């Protein structure tokens, strides 16, 4: 057998990369290896529909499981890769088998950050996989109480889904407000108000002292002396890149697996993409970032496939993510840190967008909130302005009558 392309991690990024190799004309062996029992599926529904809908949805497949065999992709599920031998150019699976590679992609993703003081218990959960979501879903019912530790995206989406299913929800956040990372205060306030209107208790600026399980309940002791009681605690305090394989193989790390603009690691035959890697972003002066968002994982999967085939293309996409809570959708394009000013543009029905500008007037990022996809088109146009390093006049950005499309053409 000719050595082919091997992908470790059958998530969004790994799944997309496997199909992209075929779409880009590679006809040699493609092997995708994932430790989860499922074929690649999308994670965003896990905190949304999978928890909130009356009928349990099956995983939202990256591609239907039968398509892998149809496209000649060997998808090995339920098996982890335990080592990479860079000299022999093989990966070793947990069952002892080895698979040779010509080029290797690490798409190992991220895992929830663990809270050291939390006990191992069925009533203390984390949310990353479909299996995690099923375990949490079983607790979401009227009369049950849920404590969410961490007021970030996953915790807040979970809170919204739990309210939809009738559970009582308290969110405990150590920072003075929810969504401190990556979301402007004005937008966080809209989201906080919406949660409060649904009866969610948002408890910000409060530290944790201990978590314990007794008699079928979880007791959460706060540093100010109060103890909360819940049927289930879910911890959502961020995620960490999965880098152990890369580290053991001696690849360079830097807040994840360090790759260059073509997603190559410090070994030119090994690439890394998606949540597990940090990369230089040319549109922000080559600043190294690591993103944990759905579109980036898919885009980088396709880019990694192209570059495994020797195309040498550089990352050019603008970071973008969204979050759905109740009927509200938040969208953020670009990176706002480093912005000197923000300008507000009102959109229909109370929706609005904040444009974040650098000292020199360059548009760095745009964050919008509104019902459904009301801000989607303008955020898409903002993304194009960001990609062009445009310097639109603040007064024009603030004026809803001035079409962003016109600013793009200017």
Is 136 an interacting residue with respect to ligand FAD (CB under 6 A)?
no
Dist. CA 379–CA 295, nearest whole Å = 14
Which of 46/146 has CB closer to ligand FAD? 46
Binding mask 25-54 for ligand FAD (x = CB under 6 A): --------xxxx------xx-xx-------
Which of 200/397 has CB closer to ligand FAD? 200
Which of 292/343 has CB closer to ligand FAD? 292
Question: Which residue has 């050019």 as its token pair?
Answer: 316
Q: Which stretch binds ligand FAD (CB under 6 A): 118-126, 316-324, 383-391, 399-407?
A: 316-324
Is 323 an interacting residue with respect to ligand FAD (CB under 6 A)?
yes
The residues in 265-304 that bind ligand FAD, with binding defined as CB under 6 A, are 274-275, 292-294, 297
Which of 44/184 has CB closer to ligand FAD? 44
State the nearest-atom distance from the C-beta of 395 to ligand FAD, in Å: 31
Which of 93/261 has CB closer to ligand FAD? 93
Q: Which of 6, 7, 8, 304 touches ligand FAD by CB under 6 A?
A: 8
The residues in 101-130 that bind ligand FAD, with binding defined as CB under 6 A, are 107-110, 127-128
Q: Which of 53, 77, 80, 175 touches ligand FAD by CB under 6 A?
A: 80
Q: Which of 7, 32, 75, 81 touches ligand FAD by CB under 6 A?
A: 81
Which of 94/340 has CB closer to ligand FAD? 94
Q: Dihedral, CA atoms, 322, 327, 328, 329, nearest 10 degrees?
A: 20
Binding mask 148-187 for ligand FAD (x = CB under 6 A): ------x---------------------------------
SS (H, E, C) the chain: CCCEEEEECCCHHHHHHHHHHHHCCCCCCEEEECCCCCCCECCHHHHCHHHHCCCCCCCCECCCHHHHHHCCEEEECCCCEEEEECCCCEEEECCCCEEEEEEEEECCCEEECCCCCCCCECCEECCCCHHHHHHHHCCCCCCCEEEEECCCHHHHHHHHHHHHCCCEEEEEECCCCCCCCCCCHHHHHHHHHHHHHCCCEEEECCCEEEEEEECCEEEEEECCCCEEEECEEEECCCEEECCHHHHHCCCCECCCEECCCCCECCCCCEEECHHHEEEEEHHHCCEEECCCCHHHHHHHHHHHHHHHCCCCCCCCCCCEEEEEECCEEEEEEECCCCCCEEEEEECHHHCEEEEEECCCCCEEEEEEEEECCCCHHHHHHHHHHHHCCCCCCHHHHHCCCCCHHHHHHC
Q: Which of 238, 321, 347, 394 touches ligand FAD by CB under 6 A?
A: 321
Dist. CA 73–CA 336, nearest whole Å = 39
Output the six-digit token pair for 243.
């880098």
Longest CA pairwise span in the chain (Å): 66
Dist. CA 282–CA 91, nearest whole Å = 32
Q: Which of 11, 59, 151, 368 touches ligand FAD by CB under 6 A?
A: 11
Which of 98/229 has CB closer to ligand FAD? 98
Give the residue among 130, 29, 40 at the shortest CA–CA distance from 77: 40
Residues contacting ligand FAD: total by CB under 6 A: 35
Output the six-digit token pair for 38.
């499922």
State the nearest-atom distance from the C-beta of 291 to ligand FAD, in Å: 7
Which of 243/342 has CB closer to ligand FAD? 243
Which of 145/161 has CB closer to ligand FAD? 161
State the nearest-atom distance from the C-beta of 9 to ligand FAD, in Å: 3
State the nearest-atom distance from the C-beta of 325 to ligand FAD, in Å: 10
Is 13 an interacting residue with respect to ligand FAD (CB under 6 A)?
yes
State the nearest-atom distance from the C-beta of 18 to ligand FAD, in Å: 11
State the nearest-atom distance from the C-beta of 106 to ligand FAD, in Å: 8
State the nearest-atom distance from the C-beta of 225 to ligand FAD, in Å: 32
Is 362 an interacting residue with respect to ligand FAD (CB under 6 A)?
no
360 by Cβ neighbours in 10 Å (0-12 / 13-18 / 19+) ranks as: exposed
Q: Which chain residues interact with ligand FAD by CB under 6 A?
A: 8-14, 33-36, 43-44, 46-47, 80-81, 107-110, 127-128, 154, 242, 245, 274-275, 292-294, 297, 321-323
């Amino acid at each position: 057998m000719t050595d082919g392309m091997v992908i470790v991690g059958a998530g969004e990024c790994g799944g997309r990369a496997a199909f992209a190799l075929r779409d880009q004309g590679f006809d040699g062996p493609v092997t995708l290896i994932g430790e989860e029992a499922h074929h690649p599926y999308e994670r965003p529904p896990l905190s949304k529909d999978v928890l909130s809908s009356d009928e349990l949805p099956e995983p939202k497949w990256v591609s239907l499981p039968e398509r892998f065999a149809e496209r000649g992709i060997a998808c090995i599920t339920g098996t982890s890769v335990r080592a990479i031998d860079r000299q022999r150019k093989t990966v070793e699976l947990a069952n002892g088998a080895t698979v040779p590679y010509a080029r290797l992609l690490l798409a190992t993703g991220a895992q929830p950050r663990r809270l050291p003081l939390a006990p191992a218990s069925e009533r203390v959960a984390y949310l990353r996989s479909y299996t995690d979501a099923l375990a949490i879903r079983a607790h979401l019912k009227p009369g049950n109480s849920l404590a969410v530790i961490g007021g970030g995206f996953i915790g807040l989406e979970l809170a919204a889904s739990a309210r939809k299913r009738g559970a009582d929800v308290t969110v405990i956040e150590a920072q003075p407000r929810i969504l401190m990372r990556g979301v402007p205060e004005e937008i966080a306030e809209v989201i906080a108000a919406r949660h409060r209107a649904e009866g969610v208790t948002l408890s910000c600026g409060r530290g944790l002292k201990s978590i314990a399980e007794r008699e079928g309940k979880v007791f959460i002791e706060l540093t100010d002396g109060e103890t909360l009681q819940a049927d289930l605690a879910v911890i959502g305090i961020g995620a960490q890149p999965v880098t152990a394989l890369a580290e053991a193989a001696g690849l360079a790390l830097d807040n994840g697996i360090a790759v260059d603009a073509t997603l190559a690691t410090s070994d030119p035959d090994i690439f890394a993409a998606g949540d597990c890697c940090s990369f230089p972003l040319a549109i922000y002066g080559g600043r190294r970032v690591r993103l944990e968002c759905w579109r980036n994982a898919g885009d980088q999967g396709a880019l990694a496939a192209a570059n495994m085939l020797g195309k040498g293309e550089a990352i050019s996409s603008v970071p973008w993510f969204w979050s759905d809570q109740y009927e509200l959708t938040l969208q953020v394009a670009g990176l706002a840190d480093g912005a000197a000013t923000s300008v507000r543009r009102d959109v229909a029905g109370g929706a609005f967008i904040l444009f974040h500008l650098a000292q020199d007037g360059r548009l760095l990022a745009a964050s919008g909130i509104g019902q459904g996809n009301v801000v989607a088109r303008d955020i898409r146009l903002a993304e194009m302005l960001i990609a062009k390093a445009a310097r639109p006049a603040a007064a024009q950005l603030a004026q809803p009558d001035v079409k962003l499309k016109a600013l793009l053409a200017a």
